Amino acid sequence: MDNAKPWLLEIRLFTVKSGSREEFDRISREGTIPLMRRLGITVVAHGPSSNNENGYFLLRAFPSEQDRVERSRSLYATDEWLAEYDGPVSSMIEDYDTAVFAANPAALSMLAEPVSG
Protein backbone atom coordinates (compact mmCIF):
# COMPACT_ATOMS: atom_id res chain seq x y z
CA MET A 1 0.00 0.00 0.00
CA ASP A 2 1.45 3.36 -1.06
CA ASN A 3 1.76 5.46 2.11
CA ALA A 4 2.48 8.67 0.17
CA LYS A 5 -1.08 9.42 -0.94
CA PRO A 6 -4.58 8.76 0.38
CA TRP A 7 -6.41 5.66 -0.75
CA LEU A 8 -10.14 5.34 -1.20
CA LEU A 9 -11.93 3.46 1.51
CA GLU A 10 -15.18 1.80 0.44
CA ILE A 11 -17.65 0.59 3.03
CA ARG A 12 -20.60 -1.53 2.03
CA LEU A 13 -23.36 -2.00 4.54
CA PHE A 14 -25.60 -4.92 3.71
CA THR A 15 -28.98 -5.79 5.12
CA VAL A 16 -29.38 -9.51 4.62
CA LYS A 17 -32.64 -11.39 4.79
CA SER A 18 -33.62 -12.58 8.24
CA GLY A 19 -31.98 -15.88 9.11
CA SER A 20 -29.38 -15.75 6.32
CA ARG A 21 -26.53 -13.81 7.96
CA GLU A 22 -24.64 -16.88 9.20
CA GLU A 23 -24.62 -18.39 5.69
CA PHE A 24 -23.77 -15.01 4.12
CA ASP A 25 -20.79 -14.76 6.49
CA ARG A 26 -19.67 -18.30 5.71
CA ILE A 27 -19.80 -17.70 1.95
CA SER A 28 -17.92 -14.42 2.45
CA ARG A 29 -15.17 -15.96 4.59
CA GLU A 30 -14.74 -19.12 2.51
CA GLY A 31 -15.47 -17.81 -0.97
CA THR A 32 -16.06 -14.21 -1.93
CA ILE A 33 -13.39 -12.56 0.25
CA PRO A 34 -10.63 -14.95 -0.91
CA LEU A 35 -11.77 -14.37 -4.52
CA MET A 36 -11.55 -10.59 -4.05
CA ARG A 37 -8.06 -10.92 -2.60
CA ARG A 38 -6.91 -13.15 -5.47
CA LEU A 39 -8.09 -10.42 -7.86
CA GLY A 40 -5.97 -7.83 -6.03
CA ILE A 41 -8.76 -6.16 -4.04
CA THR A 42 -7.61 -5.00 -0.61
CA VAL A 43 -10.18 -6.24 1.88
CA VAL A 44 -9.52 -4.38 5.12
CA ALA A 45 -12.29 -5.94 7.22
CA HIS A 46 -15.64 -7.67 6.93
CA GLY A 47 -18.19 -9.37 9.11
CA PRO A 48 -21.51 -9.30 10.89
CA SER A 49 -22.64 -5.99 12.31
CA SER A 50 -22.62 -5.93 16.10
CA ASN A 51 -25.64 -3.61 16.30
CA ASN A 52 -27.98 -5.11 13.69
CA GLU A 53 -28.91 -8.81 13.58
CA ASN A 54 -29.37 -8.60 9.80
CA GLY A 55 -26.39 -6.31 9.15
CA TYR A 56 -23.09 -7.16 7.49
CA PHE A 57 -20.20 -4.91 6.46
CA LEU A 58 -17.42 -5.04 3.90
CA LEU A 59 -14.53 -2.57 4.09
CA ARG A 60 -12.25 -2.40 1.04
CA ALA A 61 -9.44 -0.05 -0.01
CA PHE A 62 -8.40 1.08 -3.49
CA PRO A 63 -5.62 3.37 -4.76
CA SER A 64 -8.06 5.27 -7.02
CA GLU A 65 -11.68 5.48 -8.14
CA GLN A 66 -10.72 4.02 -11.51
CA ASP A 67 -9.12 1.02 -9.78
CA ARG A 68 -12.20 0.58 -7.56
CA VAL A 69 -14.56 0.53 -10.54
CA GLU A 70 -12.36 -1.71 -12.71
CA ARG A 71 -11.63 -4.29 -10.01
CA SER A 72 -15.28 -4.40 -8.96
CA ARG A 73 -16.37 -4.97 -12.56
CA SER A 74 -13.77 -7.68 -13.04
CA LEU A 75 -14.90 -9.44 -9.83
CA TYR A 76 -18.54 -9.65 -10.87
CA ALA A 77 -17.59 -10.84 -14.38
CA THR A 78 -15.46 -13.81 -13.27
CA ASP A 79 -16.67 -17.31 -14.03
CA GLU A 80 -16.24 -18.17 -10.34
CA TRP A 81 -18.47 -15.31 -9.16
CA LEU A 82 -21.13 -16.06 -11.76
CA ALA A 83 -21.15 -19.82 -11.17
CA GLU A 84 -20.67 -19.97 -7.39
CA TYR A 85 -21.75 -16.75 -5.71
CA ASP A 86 -23.97 -14.49 -7.80
CA GLY A 87 -27.20 -16.41 -7.22
CA PRO A 88 -26.76 -17.38 -3.56
CA VAL A 89 -25.34 -14.03 -2.44
CA SER A 90 -27.89 -11.96 -4.35
CA SER A 91 -30.76 -14.00 -2.92
CA MET A 92 -29.63 -13.24 0.65
CA ILE A 93 -29.25 -9.46 0.23
CA GLU A 94 -32.29 -7.39 1.04
CA ASP A 95 -30.53 -4.05 0.54
CA TYR A 96 -27.09 -2.45 0.64
CA ASP A 97 -25.46 0.95 0.54
CA THR A 98 -21.94 1.96 -0.46
CA ALA A 99 -19.93 4.95 0.77
CA VAL A 100 -16.49 5.88 -0.58
CA PHE A 101 -14.07 8.37 0.97
CA ALA A 102 -10.37 9.24 1.08
CA ALA A 103 -8.38 7.65 3.88
CA ASN A 104 -4.81 7.84 5.10
CA PRO A 105 -2.98 4.54 4.40
CA ALA A 106 -1.68 4.45 7.98
CA ALA A 107 -5.26 4.56 9.24
CA LEU A 108 -6.16 1.69 6.91
CA SER A 109 -3.34 -0.38 8.36
CA MET A 110 -4.64 0.26 11.86
CA LEU A 111 -8.17 -0.76 10.83
CA ALA A 112 -6.85 -4.04 9.44
CA GLU A 113 -5.19 -5.00 12.74
CA PRO A 114 -7.12 -7.56 14.80
CA VAL A 115 -8.88 -6.21 17.86
CA SER A 116 -7.73 -7.83 21.08
CA GLY A 117 -9.89 -7.82 24.05
- Condensed to tens digits (0 to 9), the pLDDT of residues 95-107 reads 999 999 998 877 7
pTM for this prediction: 0.88
Domains and CATH numbers, the chain: 13-112 (3.30.70.100)
Model pLDDT, residue 6: 87
Name the pLDDT band for 44 (thresholds 50, 70, 90): very high
Query: What pLDDT does residue 113 have?
Result: 56
- What average pLDDT does the segment 58-69 reach? 96
Residue (of 44, 36, 37) closest to 7 by Cα position: 44
Please check whether residue 115 is in contact with residue 50, taking contact to mean a CB–CB distance below 8 angstroms: no
Q: What pLDDT, on the 0 to 100 scale, is given for residue 104?
A: 82
Percent of the chain with pLDDT over 90: 82
The string of DSSP letters for 29-84 reads IIIIHHHHHHTT-EEEEEEE-SS-TTEEEEEEEESSHHHHHHHHHHHHHSHHIIII
Instruction: Choose the weakest-confidence range: 2-6, 42-46, 64-68, 85-89.
Output: 2-6
Query: How far, in Å, CA of 6 to CA of 111, rounded?
Result: 15
- Rounded to an integer, the average pLDDT of 68-94 is 97
